[in-house]
Structure 1
């Protein structure tokens, strides 16, 4: 019996116990939203949305495997949308991936303007889940960094324009990557703090490049308090505090860099940590039954099933990327849980994230 098979073959084997219907896979691969050119969108103005960032904003980079074999495709309670898709829909646009691939499939350019990728860091190409770019398998996540995402857009399109809303997020994976290195004894806490702060400064520089490239409507979201996610709540008090401190440190460094360079007055700054803290504190008022103490996807069952099929890294499957209605903790978990997995929002929480962004955009005088 062969003990090592390709990642793609492994995914297909596991799919036997977690495959969603073809209709759900189609929804996941196509994304959400609509673009009715004959009506005024809910946001009161039509805007083309361009998005850069990480898994929080990934609209389907990994759909060739995740959607086709699992009914997954995005880091949420699939087939639900992520927040940038909700925002795009609000302004009359449909946001689809700019690139697909990974997990056994070579990267391929697509026509969409959703450049964000799960696992991506701000400038470093070795992100969370990255396992090399060997053309023979592309065994892990692509993790094209945010800086390269913007370069790829400018290479293809030349510039931004006044009819676009450009959304930027990033930094969470830099926090997780560096703190994991500290726990492994590969770097000191001081070195990790410096690296996280530099990532924030680099993200501000990327925002500057976007503005210089012609963008007039730029929404910049900072990072949520990772210590207040299920990952933080399931950790020791010390680790939870480190996650919160690192999140706050990144956000402070990002705000300072944007202010120092004169960019803060040129962008719409979304400080998402506060609104998410309010939702967590009052979760039942927002329609949730479970706050940050559980996950809407049954991660343990997903990992156990992968292990039973002989997967060498079963924990790779314990993520909302591969979550479908068949693997939810409860049938309505997409609406009643705040988090799909240990860090990613459910469909309902993504919608609230989007509403917060839309309110900030309206307060800036754009749309309604």
Structure 2
């Protein structure tokens, strides 16, 4: 039944995507007239909709520019190297979308410092790394990234567009909005960093306590020895040039002075160090896991807030200002991306909860509005991940791009091209890198969006 349903959807939209002019979806055979003739296409969001913000400088030199496989992996629109917005613009009979802003603010020595340019008449505002309202997203220089992505948030993207067109949408634009993914990644990264810090701190303390107790046990006065060994370890740890080995040496030296002369032998203190390391690993793992569990609810709440913020942007900045055709895509099933699948079960569950919180807010705030089409990308992507064959997908778990430093210095889809793909036929892989689609998957997305626009009466 599922395959039949998908086959019918494919038949309903295949003719539409076969050429640039498209088909209205009307039942009349041969009718090539669009039901709604859009005057322009405007897009807001993140890397999934970025049509070339960073196709400059060092990124361009590395053969990149868009977050997918940069280049045609075969003949036909599904292998063209284009993203979904480019395919849809061709279907609508509109010019190829261009980036409203280009540039980089990173390391000049690597070609990642390129003046920011605003491109008149270009309405592709989406940027890789962009979040819903926060100006600091993944890859921004304030995160320490040498790439220096601009990461202008969606809220500002819309303001920039309104400033460029006189403060109002004309009402004849098709407006696409897809965001939230970087809020997931950024919040997860922050949680991971904090959990790691908690684990490291707990592990360091456990190592010291374990080693001190073991060394002091063989001293003349264990209590006094423990204090002396602890002070010696603390003093050496404060030395900027210290290493784990010098800290152990300081502890052993103090133990010997306190009467545990046997500890001078590596055969004696070696097993003690090994046990202390095992104790540190166990304590660190537990502390990190406990921290993540204790703060997971905060990440879910943060995504719910981001969802509410995006709803407010659509209503207060778009609809209120004259937009009549706004298509908003919810978040896909991030937990089943290669990045998500590489996480432990607890992290996958957290990712799923974060995505659901965001999508639930979009559903509550935007469903049923006449001028808004809410596109359920989550359901589509989840079905692709669990039932790939009907979609023509050959691999939904691995990356099509070789992300090794030798092949792809940035390790992301932005600089993936025909020269750094994995061996074999990867054209029908779902993912270019750990989170972003191949051109084939973007083609599937364009087809899915077209189907929903037909149902809405917009095509």
Please give the TM-score of this superposition, normalised by the length of structure 1. 0.79
| Greater CA drift, 238-247 or 345-354 | 238-247
| Aligned equivalent of 1:281 | 386
Does 1:175 find its partner at 2:279?
A: no
Deviation at 1:330?
A: 3.4
| Greater CA drift, 78-87 or 125-134 | 125-134
Does 1:258 find its partner at 2:266?
A: no
Deviation at 1:44?
A: 5.5
Contact 1:56 1:118 in 2 (8 A): yes
Q: Which residue of 409, 413, 418 maps to 1:320?
A: 413
Deviation at 1:43?
A: 5.2
| Greater CA drift, 53-62 or 162-171 | 162-171
| Aligned equivalent of 1:46 | 37
State how 1:184-263 maps to structure 2 within 5 Å.
184-185=193-194, 188-208=295-315, 209-258=317-366
Counterparts of 1:331 and 1:162, CA distance in 2 = 46
State how 1:1-368 maps to structure 2 within 5 Å.
45-47=36-38, 48-65=40-57, 68-79=60-71, 80-93=81-94, 94-102=96-104, 103-111=112-120, 112-132=122-142, 139-158=147-166, 159-185=168-194, 188-208=295-315, 209-258=317-366, 264-291=369-396, 293-300=397-404, 303-305=405-407, 317-330=410-423, 332-333=425-426, 335-367=427-459
Change over 3 Å in CA distance of 1:322–1:41 after alignment to 2: farther
Contact 2:400 2:433 in 1 (8 A): yes
Counterparts of 2:60 and 2:185, CA distance in 1 = 29
Contact 2:87 2:443 in 1 (8 A): yes
Residue 325 of structure 1 aligns to a residue whose secondary structure is coil
Counterparts of 2:32 and 2:319, CA distance in 1 = 25
Structure 1: where are the runs of 5+ without partners? 1-32, 307-313
Residue 363 of structure 1 aligns to a residue whose secondary structure is helix
Q: Please give the per-residue CA displacement for 1:216-261, whole angstroms capped at 9, x wherever unaligned.
A: 11100011011011111111111112111111111012222335xx
Deviation at 1:35?
A: 8.8
Counterparts of 2:193 and 2:453, CA distance in 1 = 41
Residue 399 of structure 2 aligns to a residue whose secondary structure is coil
Counterparts of 1:330 and 1:319, CA distance in 2 = 17
Change over 3 Å in CA distance of 1:358–1:253 after alignment to 2: same
Counterparts of 2:411 and 2:34, CA distance in 1 = 36
Residue 398 of structure 2 aligns to a residue whose secondary structure is coil
Deviation at 1:68?
A: 2.9
Runs of 4+ in 1 over 6 A off after TM superposition: 33-36
Please give the TM-score of this superposition, normalised by the length of structure 2. 0.64
CA-atom RMSD in angstroms: 2.5
Structure 2: where are the runs of 5+ without partners? 1-18, 23-30, 72-80, 105-111, 196-291
Contact 2:428 2:441 in 1 (8 A): no
Counterparts of 2:158 and 2:182, CA distance in 1 = 17
Change over 3 Å in CA distance of 1:114–1:41 after alignment to 2: farther
Residue 245 of structure 1 aligns to a residue whose secondary structure is helix
Contact 1:41 1:92 in 2 (8 A): no
Counterparts of 2:429 and 2:36, CA distance in 1 = 32
Counterparts of 1:251 and 1:223, CA distance in 2 = 6
Contact 1:162 1:215 in 2 (8 A): yes
Deviation at 1:276?
A: 1.4
| Aligned equivalent of 2:199 | none
Contact 2:69 2:401 in 1 (8 A): yes
Counterparts of 1:185 and 1:326, CA distance in 2 = 37
Contact 2:399 2:434 in 1 (8 A): yes
Change over 3 Å in CA distance of 1:133–1:249 after alignment to 2: closer
Contact 1:104 1:138 in 2 (8 A): no
- Structure with bigger gyration radius: 2
Q: Which has the higher helix share?
A: 2
Q: Please give the per-residue CA displacement for 1:112-145, whole angstroms capped at 9, x wherever unaligned.
A: 11000000000000011101499xx984110000
Counterparts of 2:32 and 2:124, CA distance in 1 = 20
Contact 1:45 1:91 in 2 (8 A): no
Deviation at 1:272?
A: 0.6
Change over 3 Å in CA distance of 1:258–1:275 after alignment to 2: same
Tell me how many residue pairs correspond in the alignment. 314
Counterparts of 2:343 and 2:51, CA distance in 1 = 29
Residue 140 of structure 1 aligns to a residue whose secondary structure is coil
